[in-house]
């Protein structure tokens, strides 16, 4: 442990898999400007990767990241993230994961691990405090993530080792491959395939140190206050009882769950009743699980004792699993949803990516664009769970038609053609699980997200729940300085997204789970509380204004990375055309049709709040220089991509 710093371990481990050489450098040269975790990782990638580098080549880098609060007693301070080039689009790629791996890396004495090059054969990286070893993993290649983790612990003779590893999907470079730790997933952006491209099966870590804080009494006062906030949160009580599927009925009521590849915005009520939170709780739930330093227990473990999937035990079931497979793919059998989630985790395959590709194929088959000649003789019928299981295996192993689906729906549609592009539902090349038409704030946040197609970097969670609770709605309006919470109103959505982008950049850089922030409940951790926790832990006194500047600096750097590496423009902040062409067909908002003009005006307002060029959506020199990003402004100007003042 570096005693000259607190919160941070102070060390970055850099490993070159090509040469087998590793180096240690200081975290603190980045900390003041970039905070931690996602912020520092993105700054390293921006400065060290050329735009010409592609995701799967050895010149690409992958960074395992923790935050200055990871491994402390702050509620939800369990997160680590993985950043690299996005396997779907070459732009910003980052994915967060809970559990215990991140804290264990801190206990071993490292804030970051930067992986470079490519090993000549499959390997895994073993980190035990100061002992760093690259070990042969040829015997692990081809194993599932569950098998690989068990084998590594047995080989190292220590059950307390924590492992982040890939399965067959990552080995075969499926675009949607993810990294699994325990039974938690770093799911988005294809980080599993980046591991696979480097012949890196896993990283195993064991640490015997601790995270020290600068002001223990002050820090514990802030921690205790945070836990008191959580004890009184009704939102967290529901989350603790059911997990994230607690919001299923509310989301469906307000036309916010996709059905059959977004042909509908609601799951039919008779199907939904079979998928209700109480069904899962009463019939399959056997225990609740926590990540480190978390009292919420949103992770549920299920056991199936009957039917074709009898004997299956699985952990980590969440709302997007239902939305992806009961919703987008039309599966109506609850044990099959549990099976699919378990299989994706075993194979190391992102749920959203696999469901996006499969639901695209199902609709193309429905419309006669795909036939059995294209699909290895398979009849692609909605809701056929045996078929879904088979397709997931084929995607992970790039077998036959699965080889096309493994590219993701955007690239798969480009391969097939025949008008199939219309049914590939993605943003910036990455599959959506979220409905965009309602709520619009959630949709805007997912569409402008730098990594593309995800709600965890700026989408608000409160819009639907505020409709159910007048008291909560008033609290949200006061906190955000807004007047409107209607899910299908365009008003105030840019202001809401700006607020949550800032909060999420900070949370994702500090190492905290987003469910502990005001994203879920206005009484939980906001930016002032994050400032106090960070200052007390690190001894680096930081104001709310300074924190907001850091958040804006990180997001603008990510925006510039996307512009230079992926060529994104204003059009990439729009949702797929389907959402402008098809109105909501049933339910509370029946007849509502999104307007491209109104969406454009929302973007204008969002760009204005960000200080970007309204016409092109590009950061301006004035904006970047205010954030101490003069070098980024120069890079954009050299490439003809610097925004003009409005």
- Write the pLDDT tens digit of every residue in 468-516: 888 889 999 999 999 999 999 999 999 999 999 999 999 999 999 999 9
Residues facing 202 on adjacent strands: 124, 165
CB 325 within 8 A of CB 332: no
Summarised one tens digit per residue, pLDDT across range 68-97 is: 999 999 999 999 999 999 999 999 999 999
Alpha-carbon span 117 to 123, nearest angstrom: 13
Q: What is the model's pLDDT at position 4?
A: 73
Alpha-carbon span 587 to 597, nearest angstrom: 24
Q: What is the model's pLDDT at position 338?
A: 96
Alpha-carbon span 172 to 170, nearest angstrom: 5
Summarised one tens digit per residue, pLDDT across range 227-257 is: 999 999 988 999 999 999 999 999 999 999 9
Tell the residue number behind the tokens 């559990």, with chain if given. 99
Question: C-alpha distances in angstroms, 257 versus 187, 241, 253, 330?
Answer: 20, 21, 9, 12
State the Cα angle at 270 between 266 and 273, rounded to 5°: 90
CB 84 within 8 A of CB 45: yes
Summarised one tens digit per residue, pLDDT across range 590-617 is: 999 999 999 999 999 999 999 999 999 9
CB 265 within 8 A of CB 591: no
Q: Is 65 exposed, middle or buried (0-12, 13-18, 19+ CB in 10 A)?
A: buried
pLDDT over threshold 50, residue 633? yes
CB atoms within 10 A of CB 621: 18
State the Cα angle at 58 between 19 and 206, rounded to 5°: 60
The values of phi and psi at residue 535, to 5°, are -65, -45
Q: Cβ contacts of residue 149 below 8 Å, gap of 6+?
A: 163, 165, 180, 182, 202
Mean pLDDT of 282-302: 92
Alpha-carbon span 493 to 460, nearest angstrom: 9
Residues facing 619 on adjacent strands: 612
The values of phi and psi at residue 121, to 5°, are -145, 165
Q: Which two tokens stand for residue 310?
A: 């009898």
CB 65 within 8 A of CB 112: yes
Q: What is the model's pLDDT at position 469?
A: 87
CB atoms within 10 A of CB 93: 29
Q: Which two tokens stand for residue 513?
A: 């789970």
What's the chain's Rg over C-alpha atoms? Answer: 23
CB atoms within 10 A of CB 369: 19
Q: Is 546 exposed, middle or buried (0-12, 13-18, 19+ CB in 10 A)?
A: middle
Q: What is the model's pLDDT at position 465?
A: 86
Residue in 351, 358, 349 with CA at minimum distance from that of residue 329 = 358
Number of Cα atoms under 13 Å in the Cβ half of residue 144:
12
Alpha-carbon span 208 to 215, nearest angstrom: 22
Mean pLDDT of 165-180: 98
Alpha-carbon span 180 to 245, nearest angstrom: 21
Q: 453-467, 566-580, 616-630: which has the minimum mean pLDDT?
A: 453-467
Beta pairing, strands 11-16 & 112-116: parallel
Summarised one tens digit per residue, pLDDT across range 305-350 is: 999 999 999 998 889 999 999 999 999 999 999 999 999 999 999 9
Residue ranges of alpha helices (H) inside 511-627 are 527-538, 544-565, 578-581, 596-610, 621-626
Chain centroid to CA 438: how far?
Answer: 20
Alpha-carbon span 348 to 393, nearest angstrom: 11
CB atoms within 10 A of CB 378: 18
Alpha-carbon span 198 to 72, nearest angstrom: 32
pLDDT over threshold 90, residue 169? yes
pLDDT over threshold 50, residue 1? no
CB atoms within 10 A of CB 414: 13
Beta pairing, strands 92-97 & 80-85: antiparallel
Mean pLDDT of 46-62: 98
Q: Which two tokens stand for residue 60?
A: 């690409």
Summarised one tens digit per residue, pLDDT across range 505-548 is: 999 999 999 999 998 899 999 999 999 999 999 999 999 999 99
Query: How does 425-445 read in b/e, with b if 16+ C-beta sit within 10 Å?
Result: bbbbbbbbbbbbbbbbbbbbb
When the pLDDT of each residue in the chain is averaged and rounded to a whole number, the result is 96
Summarised one tens digit per residue, pLDDT across range 180-201 is: 999 999 999 999 999 999 999 9
pLDDT classification of 3: cutoffs 50, 70, 90:
low
Number of Cα atoms under 13 Å in the Cβ half of residue 381:
8
Asked if residue 439 has a cis previous peptide bond (ω within 30° of 0), the answer is yes
pLDDT classification of 2: cutoffs 50, 70, 90:
very low
């Amino acid at each position: 442990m570096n005693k000259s710093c607190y919160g941070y371990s102070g060390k970055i481990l850099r490993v070159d898999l090509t040469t087998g050489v590793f180096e240690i450098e200081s975290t603190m040269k980045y900390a003041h400007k970039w905070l931690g975790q996602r912020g520092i990782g993105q700054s390293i990638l921006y400065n060290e990767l050329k735009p010409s580098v592609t995701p799967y080549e050895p010149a690409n880098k992958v960074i395992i990241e923790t935050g200055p609060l990871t491994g402390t007693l702050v509620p939800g301070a369990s997160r680590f993230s993985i950043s690299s080039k996005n396997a779907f689009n070459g732009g910003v790629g980052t994915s967060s994961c809970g559990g215990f791996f991140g804290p264990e890396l801190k206990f071993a004495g490292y804030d970051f691990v930067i992986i470079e090059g490519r090993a000549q054969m499959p390997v895994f990286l073993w980190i035990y405090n100061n002992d760093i070893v690259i070990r042969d993993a040829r015997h692990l290649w081809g194993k599932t993530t569950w098998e690989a983790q068990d084998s590594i612990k047995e080989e190292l003779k220590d059950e307390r080792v924590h492992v982040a590893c890939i399965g067959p999907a990552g080995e075969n470079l499926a675009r949607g491959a993810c990294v699994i730790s325990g039974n938690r997933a770093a799911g988005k952006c294809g980080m599993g395939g980046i591991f696979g491209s480097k012949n890196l099966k896993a990283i195993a870590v064991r640490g015997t140190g601790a995270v020290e804080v600068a002001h223990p009494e002050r820090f514990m006062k802030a921690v205790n206050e945070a836990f008191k906030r959580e004890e009184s949160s009704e939102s967290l009580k529901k989350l603790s009882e059911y997990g994230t599927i607690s919001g299923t009925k509310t989301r469906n009521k307000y036309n916010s769950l996709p059905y059959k590849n977004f042909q509908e915005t609601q799951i039919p009520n008779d199907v939904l009743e079979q998928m209700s939170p109480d069904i899962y709780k009463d019939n399959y739930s056997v225990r609740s699980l926590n990540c480190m330093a978390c009292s919420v227990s949103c992770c549920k473990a299920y056991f199936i004792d009957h039917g074709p999937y009898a004997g299956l035990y699985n952990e980590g079931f969440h709302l997007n699993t239902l939305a992806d497979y009961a919703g987008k793919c039309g599966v109506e059998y609850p044990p099959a949803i549990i099976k699919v989630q378990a299989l994706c985790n075993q194979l190391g395959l992102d749920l959203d990516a696999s469901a996006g590709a499969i639901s695209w194929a199902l609709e193309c088959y429905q419309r006669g664009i795909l036939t059995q000649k294209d699909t290895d003789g398979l009849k692609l019928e909605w809701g056929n769970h045996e078929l879904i299981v088979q397709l997931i295996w084929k995607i992970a192993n790039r077998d036959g038609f699965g080889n096309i689906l493994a590219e993701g729906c955007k690239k798969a549609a480009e391969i097939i053609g025949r008008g199939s592009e219309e049914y590939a539902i993605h943003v910036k090349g990455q599959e959506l699980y979220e409905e965009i038409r309602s709520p619009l704030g959630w949709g805007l946040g997912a569409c402008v997200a730098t990594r593309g197609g995800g709600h965890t970097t700026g989408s608000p969670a409160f819009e639907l729940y505020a409709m159910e609770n007048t008291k909560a709605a008033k609290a949200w309006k006061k906190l955000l300085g807004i007047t409107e919470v209607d899910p299908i109103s365009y008003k105030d959505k840019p202001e809401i997204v700006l607020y949550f982008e800032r909060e999420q950049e900070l949370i994702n850089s500090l190492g905290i789970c987003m469910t502990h922030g005001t994203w879920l409940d206005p009484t939980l951790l906001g930016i002032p509380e994050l400032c106090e926790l960070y200052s007390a832990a690190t001894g680096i006194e930081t104001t709310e204004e300074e924190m907001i500047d850091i958040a804006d600096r990180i997001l603008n750097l990510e925006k510039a990375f996307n512009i230079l590496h992926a060529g994104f423009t204003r059009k990439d902040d729009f949702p797929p055309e389907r959402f402008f062409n098809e109105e909501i067909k049933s339910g509370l908002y029946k007849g509502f049709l999104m307007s491209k003009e109104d969406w454009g005006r929302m973007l204008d307002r969002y760009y204005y709040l960000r200080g970007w060029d309204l016409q092109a959506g590009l950061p301006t020199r004035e904006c970047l220089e205010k954030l101490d990003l003069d070098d980024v402004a120069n890079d954009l100007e050299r490439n003809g991509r610097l925004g003009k003042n409005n």
